Amino acid sequence: MSVRHFNYTQRKRLLHADTSIALSRRAEEVSFDVQLRLGNYEFPGNSAVVVEAYRQTSLRRYSFGTAASPSPRDSTRLDGFPDVESLLFRVKIIDPANGKLLAEADKIKPVDPDGGERPSLLRVRSDNLSGEAWKLAFEDDHPVLVIEKSYGPYQSLLASPHFRWLVLPQLLRSLLKRAMLEDLDELLDETSSSWQNAVVRQARVLTGMNPPDGDDEQEVDDWITSAVRAFCRRHGLAQRYHADVFGGGES
């Protein structure tokens, strides 16, 4: 197993594939469980393991013992967070002698056994948008689809054919544009579970091509357009929208 380093600090990259966080529900209480696979990293056995749960400016830190025997030292309840469903997690390995950060895995999405794994690309929530029907926001660098709350439960709008046919292609385009700001090698890393990697993998399947180097903006834009158009063709969005609106096939 290869372990990547940052060149200037020799800090190890803790892969998402070696971290697993699951929510646990009991009555009104929500807590979390962590499984870590640290054997291949050769951390000093007494290295401290810390798990952080966060959303925007809210953060709570939990001690998980040492790298030799990671386990929670206190309760892992998630009381006090306004929206447990939107939490992300961060795992840190710290040298206890000097507090130096030895390794880190960030933006870990938990699995909810009661609701299945959360969407890899988009979270969805409702809010007052003062006239906008929807917007794409980024919270903790994770994409969030925000729906005008006066429409009622957002699930009804998501199920609308007009919303799917008109909005989904633009969401895909916006996500790809944002993702392509990342380093190309990182985007092609098959071990990463980030939303950027997930949306680029989807586009690679749609186009049959890897993304171009980000130095040529026109090539990047052409590749994104090819992915969006392939997405529309695969799902027959133009034909289905025409049928929904006009009651017949595309002219």
Per the domain annotation, does 86 fall within a domain? yes
The CATH number that applies at residue 32 is 2.60.40
Phi-psi label, residue 79: left if phi above 0, alpha if psi -120 to 50, beta otherwise: beta
Q: Is residue 6 part of a domain?
A: no
Question: pLDDT tens string for the chain (251 positions)?
Answer: 344 444 334 677 888 878 888 888 776 788 898 988 898 888 999 999 999 999 878 899 999 999 999 999 989 999 888 777 778 899 999 998 899 999 999 988 887 655 444 444 778 888 899 888 889 998 877 888 888 888 777 766 776 777 778 888 999 999 999 999 988 888 888 777 788 888 998 899 889 999 998 678 899 999 999 999 998 888 777 777 777 667 654 44
**Quick one: 91 and 175 in the same domain?**
no
- CA nearest 46: which of 97, 90, 3? 97
Residue 5 maps to a domain: no
Helices (H), the chain: 154-158, 161-179, 184-187, 195-207, 217-234, 237-246
Structural domain includes residue 3: no
Return the closest-CA partner of residue 47 out of 36, 59, 31.
Answer: 36
Same domain, 105 and 216: no
Domain match, 70 and 164 both: no
Quote the domain boundaries for residue 105: 12-115
| Total structural domains within the chain | 2
Domain-ending residue, one of 115, 140, 174: 115
- DSSP for 46-104, written as a single string: T-EEEEEEEETTEEEEEEEEETTEE--SS--B-TT-S-GGG-EEEEEEE-TTT--EEEE
Do 69 and 146 fall within a single domain? no
Residues 100 and 137 in one domain: no
Boundary residue ending a domain (115, 139, 174):
115
Domain boundary among 52, 85, 115: 115
Same-domain check for residues 136 and 224: yes
